[in-house]
Chains A and B, each alone.
Chain A
């Protein structure tokens, strides 16, 4: 699977926007960009995913660079409940032993200050 690079940690204040960057310079044309987050003592939670166009859902927005070598997860107004580890993952096309699996890196630890 192609690798992603994320900052180890970021901090934000409550009710401010948060931009979580992810670099994936070796992304292939068919890789989807997925974001998950893991709150303390819980299982990972799906946040958002996209291929080429920017995506919005009720949790967040995903901004994908035109060359697809980087992306940014945007939390529009951070709350204390958004404090978590955020994982940026490239999901490869079907085939071979990589079929279907998500490969998690170390992620970004987001701290939200009241």
Chain B
């Protein structure tokens, strides 16, 4: 157990639907990162939050949004789902955002869009 909790572990949904993925960071970590991993794209950075504020954005689609709540847990919302959104979604956390800190990743949510 890495200390980063992601729920649910598996999710199967239909095209056009909306889902919410949840991440609880490791205790004490202020920064949360979301990544998408598909077979053909590898690990892609989506978005980062630090202590409730958005800090960096990567290749996140407009249909996707995220937020970090006062208790530091984060949610990634995926809407108008398409078959191509099927992937593993990982959340990671770190104490701070600086380059001298490692990330701790969760075990991921496997999303299947049918």
Contacts and interface: CB of A to CB of B under 8 A. Distances in A.
Interface of A: 30-32, 34, 36, 42-46, 49, 51, 87, 91-94, 97-106
B105 A49 contact: no
Contact of A93 (B33, B99, B103): B99
Contacts of A94: 97-99
Given A99-B55, A100-B50, A46 B98 contact: no
Contacts of A92: 99
Interface residues of B, number: 29
Interface in B1-56: 2, 4, 31, 33, 35, 42-45, 48, 50, 55-56
B92 A43 contact: yes
A34 B101 CA distance: 9
Given A42-B107, A101-B58, A106 B42 contact: yes
A34 B45 contact: no
Contact of B105 (A32, A44, A99, A101): A44
